[in-house]
Chains A and B, each alone.
Chain A
Amino acid sequence: MSDERSESMLQDYLDGRLSEMERAAFEARVAAEPELARKVESARALGRALREAPAELPHGFYTRARARFEKAGASRGGRRSFNPFWSAAGLAAATLILAAILLPDWVRHGGPLQPPFEERGSAPAGRKEAGERAMPAPLAPSPQEKVVEGSRGKGAARADQLAPPRLHEAAQAPGPSDRSKRTPEAMKRRIEGSPSPEDKSIVEMPKPVPTAPEAKREAPTPEAERADATPEARPAPAAPEAERAGAAHERNQTQALATAPEKTEKLQVLGRNYQFVPGLTLATALPVGSLAPGSVTVVADPTDETWKRLLGSPSGKDLSTLEPRFPQERVVLVGPGERPFSCAGPAIDKADGRIVITLKAVAAEEASGGCALVLTAGPEPVVVRIAPAPGR
């Protein structure tokens, strides 16, 4: 019997999915094959260990849960106290607003939801056709927005990963400004085809800062990364003639951040493999190509020896689950630190042209031995900080 078939039978046996006859046959095999018997026992022991594992609720759990419920209830308060009067008033107000938007058009164009002026002379627009023209407008992006969105394309999620949400709101205006476009005035403007102030702000986004050519961005050398890790050593990059819109978008974000007050202090190199940020516990950013304690290794290439070695290790399966898409992505390997840290819930930020990964400091017994993180490939050096977890 093949391994796969045997494994499949084992699963079905453990989960009680074999028929009487199959079960009897399998048990006969278990009795005859010590290796199979060990597998069965091992799987059962695993199940037992899972079920019997102590899972005591932390002290104060119910108090905290109750407080959370009360807090959530307070924020939902308005919704809970349903009042028909206010409901009716809300409906009336909504009707008035809608009328305010539509009525001028109605009066001017002689009917509801007329097509744009240039088409008014043609055959009368049906309700559906007119609706199709008028309604998507508030949600459709302006040409400028389309450039930004288009540049995000397939890599949008990856671009998102590196920028703090607040920054995205400012650069792409998907949130609050989108809502503002649905105000009566904005809707009217859309129907009439005039640009909105929001559109203008997108046109006038800061000009991109010139950077190194694309090729360099795709595969930064370790030396370049090391140099970039130290702000004072960072040279002003050269300007390419043509930039991809996606890269421009990302640079805009970087520039916006650069204008923010500096949050990190100057890096000081204190040791060959270490860079420390005063005030924080640790920062390392050297592509040392090894997993020395305290090291951070950036792998941008599947042929990298470190990567091959790790994938070839008995625990390689873990890393392969990351499924990095080289060369669009790179893997940041964080070696075991002198100060214990946890891989759970890392904060990833972009500041001063660097990717800053903040790992939580934890007690030694809770510490992770190492972490691997997949990031979008780029020229930015990576800095890993270990910072105390914020208090509850």
Chain B
Amino acid sequence: MADGREPARLAGVHSSGGEEEGGSERDAAETLEAIRRGDADAFDRMARQESPRLYRFALHLTGRPEEAEDLVQETLVRALTSLRRFEGRAALSTYLIRALGNLWKNRLRARSRSRFVEWFRGNALDPPDRAPSAFDLLSAEDRAEQVRRAVARLDPQRRITLLLRELEGLSYEEIATMTAVPVGTVRSRLARARQDLRQWLGGPR
């Protein structure tokens, strides 16, 4: 942690508030309290609110539906039950994404004693960037699939940086805080990630 504070106590990165949100915030705080007491219904409610966003993030992060599901469930169970203080829904979202990212990094670290990389997909030796790209002509679904696969090929640090920016819309500074690196590193990782993807997806170099 760059600021040395517990993630669970980090104030909201995004602005949040408003009277209308007050009730919802109170509900969330009560739900979290119930989760800490072991209330499975409360957990279920919170899981339904947070899972779709977390799953999308995890799916891009891991590139595998089973792994993404496992990661999200593990994040919810571990992060929600250990959250000591609720400081707003926006902070909770950031906290969960951060927890998911940390969990994923820990898993990667555990695996990194042996480093594995998948250097191309499909039963062919031609790397995808050799083939003429028709990325722009693809249907939205196919394009999404192509992107998902390309993102899964990115270097893990670049991948998480790109996803925090593109999916979560975090600023460079917020990403830097979350990943505990300088803003300049965030900038360069983002640039390299986009360059890699452009290259792999056949866009302009």
Contacts and interface: CB of A to CB of B under 8 A. Distances in A.
Interface of A: 7-8, 11, 14-15, 17, 35, 38-39, 42-43, 45-47, 49-55, 57-58, 61-62, 64-66, 68-70, 72-73, 76-77, 80, 157-158, 160-161, 291, 293, 310, 313-315, 317-319, 321-322, 335-336, 340, 342-346, 348, 364, 367-375
Contacts of B38: 73, 76-77, 80
A59 B108 CA distance: 26
B116 A372 contact: yes
A57 B72 CA distance: 10
B182 interface: no
Nearest to A364: B123
A51 B167 contact: yes
B40 A66 contact: yes
28 contacts: A14-B194, A15-B165, A15-B190, A43-B194, A45-B136, A46-B147, A46-B166, A46-B198, A50-B147, A54-B141, A55-B55, A58-B69, A65-B76, A65-B77, A66-B44, A73-B40, A314-B127, A319-B117, A319-B119, A322-B117, A344-B118, A364-B123, A367-B123, A368-B118, A368-B121, A369-B119, A369-B124, A371-B118
Contacts of B123: 293, 336, 340, 364, 367, 369
A326 to B, nearest CB: 14
B5 interface: no
B50 to A, nearest CB: 10
Interface stretch (B10-18, B24-32, B59-67, B96-104): B59-67
Interface string B184-205: 0001001100111110010110
Contact of A65 (B73, B127, B143, B194): B73
B73 A68 contact: yes
Contact of B187 (A11, A46, A340): A11
A55 B115 CA distance: 27
Interface of B: 37-38, 40, 43-44, 47-48, 51-52, 55-56, 59-60, 62-65, 67, 69, 72-74, 76-78, 81, 111, 113-125, 127-130, 135-136, 140-141, 143-148, 151, 153, 155, 162-163, 165-167, 172, 187, 190-191, 194-198, 201, 203-204
Nearest to A69: B43
B32 to A, nearest CB: 13
Contact of B197 (A7, A46, A77, A310): A46
B119 A370 contact: yes
A70 B35 CA distance: 10
Nearest to B123: A336
Contacts, number: 197
Given A50-B163, A369-B119, A15 B172 contact: yes
B118 A370 contact: yes
A49 B147 contact: yes
A348 B73 CA distance: 26
B124 A371 contact: no
Contacts of A39: 198, 203-204
Contacts of B48: 62
Contact of B56 (A49, A53, A61, A160): A53
Contact of A69 (B59, B76, B143, B153): B76
Contacts of A58: 65, 69
A160 B204 contact: no
Interface of A is mostly: helix
Contacts of A51: 166-167
Nearest to A16: B171
B118 A343 contact: yes
A42 B51 contact: no
Contact of B47 (A14, A62, A72): A62
A38 B204 contact: yes
A42 B113 contact: no
B60, B78, B114: most-surrounded residue (chain A CB, <10 A): B114
A362 to B, nearest CB: 9
B165 A348 contact: no
Given A39-B198, A315-B120, A65 B51 contact: yes
B43 to A, nearest CB: 5
A49 B195 CA distance: 16
Contacts of A336: 122-125
B9 to A, nearest CB: 21
Contact of A345 (B111, B120, B203): B111
A322 B115 contact: yes
Nearest to B169: A51
Contacts of B47: 62, 65-66, 69
